[in-house]
Amino acid sequence: MNDVDQEVRDLLREKANDIPPNLDLPRSLTTRVRRRIALNALAVTVTVVVVAAGAFGTIRAFRSQPSETEGTPACTSADVRAVVSLQGAAGSREGTIELTNTSATCSLKGTPTLNLLDEDLHPIVSGITFVSVPAGWEVGGSPQPAGWPVVSLARDDSASVRVRWSNWCAGGNSTPHWRIAIPGSGDVDVEGIDAVAIPPCNGSDLPSTIEVGPFEPHLG
């Protein structure tokens, strides 16, 4: 067993001795090492600059948040009225929730959350999947509205939220109540949901899906 071990050891040492123990530094290698050091330093500098720029941009974005809405307070649930309008579309119901400002000028920003409630007004907490989707202007290839993602609403102005609802199998044919949560404030009952024909049940083992977009200026 050890015969080959020893032979291999001897062979490796013998072959290694073909190489002289000390080798002189090739002249070109100095240049290559220096170039490498310079490239490494450049890479480090670029990384630091990119990270710093990213951090600065993020901080600036956070700081600028109030200034974009400066002078325009955020809308509260007491300021807005929400009405949904959905039409049938390929096995689902698609449309918008219109939020109309009934008070002084205020602004909305971000993507709202929806809550569905049963006929006893208990939240339906299972069997529904909410999915965030892009704003209508992005999907339609329109230019970004001025001030977006902040939507400033004068009195009687409206903001829109894209909604697509599919696969409703729960609760027979009854339509659940909808409530929309205004960021930083409370919920607002969504009117008009009773008039919406519920989407067909495509599979009771699958969740109902509701796609929700961000606030955006009224989609005419």
Partner 1 sequence: MVSAKVTRVAPAESTKLDELYQRHAGAAVRLAYLLLQDRTIAEDIVQDAFVRVAGRLVHLRDPGAFDAYLRRTVVNLSHSYVRRKVLERAFLRREMATAERDTARWPTSSFEDRELLWRALGRLPERQRAAIVLRFYEDLPEAQVAELLRCSPGTVKSRVSRGLEALRHEMRGEPR
Q: Where along the sequence are the contacts to partner 1 (CB under 8 A)?
A: 4-5, 7-9, 11-16, 18-26, 29-30, 32-34, 36-37, 39-40
Instruction: Kindly state the smallest distance separating residue 15's Cβ from partner 1, in Å.
Output: 6
Q: What is the largest CA-CA distance in the chain?
A: 96
Instruction: Kindly state the smallest distance separating residue 16's Cβ from partner 1, in Å.
Output: 4
40 or 64: CB nearest partner 1: 40
Instruction: Kindly state the smallest distance separating residue 188's Cβ from partner 1, in Å.
Output: 56
Q: Which two tokens stand for residue 176?
A: 């659940």
Instruction: Kindly state the smallest distance separating residue 47's Cβ from partner 1, in Å.
Output: 12
Instruction: Kindly state the smallest distance separating residue 45's Cβ from partner 1, in Å.
Output: 13
Instruction: Kindly state the smallest distance separating residue 42's Cβ from partner 1, in Å.
Output: 12
24 or 70: CB nearest partner 1: 24
13 or 63: CB nearest partner 1: 13
16 or 146: CB nearest partner 1: 16
Contacts (Cβ under 8 Å, ≥6 apart) of 213: 111, 132, 133, 134, 135, 136, 161, 162, 163
- CA dist 137 and 140 (Å) reads 5
24 or 205: CB nearest partner 1: 24
Best CA proximity match to 208, nearest among 132, 96, 130: 130
36 or 60: CB nearest partner 1: 36
Cβ–Cβ under 8 Å, residues 100 and 134:
no
Q: Is 163 helix (H, G, I), strand (E, B) or coil?
A: strand
Long-range contacts of 137-145 (CB under 8 A, 24+ apart): 137/216, 137/217, 145/216, 145/217
Q: Which helix (H) or strand (E) holds 138?
A: helix 136-139
Instruction: Catalogue the E-assigned strands of the chain.
Output: 80-89, 92-101, 106-109, 113-117, 128-132, 150-153, 158-166, 177-181, 187-191, 208-212, 216-217
